Structure 1
Amino acid sequence: MQPINIRELKLTDAQALLAFEADNRTWFESHIDPRDPSFYSLEGVTEHIESYLADFAAQTWHPFVIEDCRERIVGRANLKSINSPQGSAEVGYRIDQGVCGQGLATLALKRLIEEARKRWGLTQLVAYVYQGNAGSRKVVERCGFVPEQLSNGNTSRGECRFVLAL
């Protein structure tokens, strides 16, 4: 695997992020809910980044991008719905289809775990994985998340909930 860099999202990432999202749109939509079509424009992505950075400033999100050795965005990772008083947050990530299977999702999730512990002082992380997404299930389990049994076996929108105690 080539060297990668995981860093915080910046407003100047708009063009590169649009390219990443547009190039992988069909791939992502086969695994997760589709984005609104208005997202797929420079203005839409810029608004998206501004929203994430505002949430970061409000200490409710921590957005990252994953870059390859040519500084091309090949993934994203986020701590979201950060609730410092409760010590919890959700994790999310998406990886370029062309680099799947190279361990980037695992590296990104490990980075989120590290940030949750060190920067945010969290005690629990939650991941939601669609039942048919075997790759993401392997990633979260490899990083120590365990499936949580929901009451009456119900799942929300076909998702499984995984929890990691930090």
Structure 2
Amino acid sequence: MSIRLTRLKASDAEALLVFEAENRYFFETMVPSRGDAYYMSENFQTRHKQLLKEQSRGISHFYLIKDDHDSILGRINVVDLNKQRRGKLGYRIGKMYTGKGLATKGLQLFMKEVIKLDIRKIHAKTTSNNFPSQRVLQKNGFHYEKTDTDSFNMNGEEVKFVYYSWENGRELV
């Protein structure tokens, strides 16, 4: 399957809400819930505008992973960029598209954008039971940093956060 990244724009809000709602319960098996209010159209629209504002200020960059038919397969972003050009990675792939290498390919495409944006370092975290996410990060040059010592209960399972990072090949200031 051919995929591409598109920068998040205002006109994506409705399709993105559908994507998020369709995949809500799948995502909540891997990450804590965003809560019911997140999926209410008015709240989602407000949040979407806030994300676009962050993007216009250059403190976050949001992309959608799409196929040739313009369907949203996933999303990927870097947020909380500071003056040293360091930020945090986030991504999610819809349930129907997992296990097909799309997360790996999407992150590979995203990392090319990250380099163009002169982002110097990215931190990522996943849960100790999310082995596919850990593999995706490793395949894209992220290095394991540490695992939290404290665990938390998510969906009846005790898990810990696992941390990774990636550094641009240039020397950090």
TM-score (norm 1): 0.90
The aligned counterpart of 1:59 is: 58
The aligned counterpart of 2:127 is: 130
User: Which structure features the higher share of helix residues?
Assistant: 1
SS in structure 2 opposite 1:132? coil
Shift of 1:156: 7.8
Shift of 1:30: 0.4
User: Structure 1 residues 133, 63: closer, same or farther in 2, change over 3 A?
Assistant: same
Shift of 1:90: 1.1
Deviations 1:81-129 (A, max 9, x none): 112x22311111000110111221112212332222112x122111101
User: Partners of 1:20 and 1:122 in 2: how far apart?
Assistant: 28
How many corresponding residue pairs?
A: 161
The aligned counterpart of 1:22 is: 21
- Aligned sequence identity (%): 30
User: Structure 1 residues 63, 155: closer, same or farther in 2, change over 3 A?
Assistant: farther
The aligned counterpart of 1:114 is: 112
Matched, 1:86 2:84: yes
User: Structure 1 residues 155, 52: closer, same or farther in 2, change over 3 A?
Assistant: farther
The aligned counterpart of 2:103 is: 105
TM-score (norm 2): 0.86
What amino acid is the match of 1:88? Answer: R
User: Structure 1 residues 44, 124: closer, same or farther in 2, change over 3 A?
Assistant: same
SS in structure 2 opposite 1:148? strand
- Contact between 1:74 and 1:95, CA under 8 Å: does it hold in 2? yes
The aligned counterpart of 2:139 is: 142
User: Structure 1 residues 148, 156: closer, same or farther in 2, change over 3 A?
Assistant: farther
User: Partners of 2:28 and 2:48 in 1: how far apart?
Assistant: 20
Moved more, 130-139 or 69-78: 69-78
- 4+ runs deviating over 6 angstroms: none
SS in structure 2 opposite 1:161? strand
SS in structure 2 opposite 1:141? helix
- Contact between 1:147 and 1:161, CA under 8 Å: does it hold in 2? yes
User: Partners of 2:95 and 2:146 in 1: how far apart?
Assistant: 30
SS in structure 2 opposite 1:34? coil
What amino acid is the match of 1:149? Answer: K
- Ranges in structure 1 where 5+ consecutive residues have no aligned partner: none
The aligned counterpart of 1:160 is: 162
User: Partners of 1:149 and 1:38 in 2: how far apart?
Assistant: 33
C-alpha RMSD of matched pairs (Å): 1.6
SS in structure 2 opposite 1:24? helix
SS in structure 1 opposite 2:129? coil
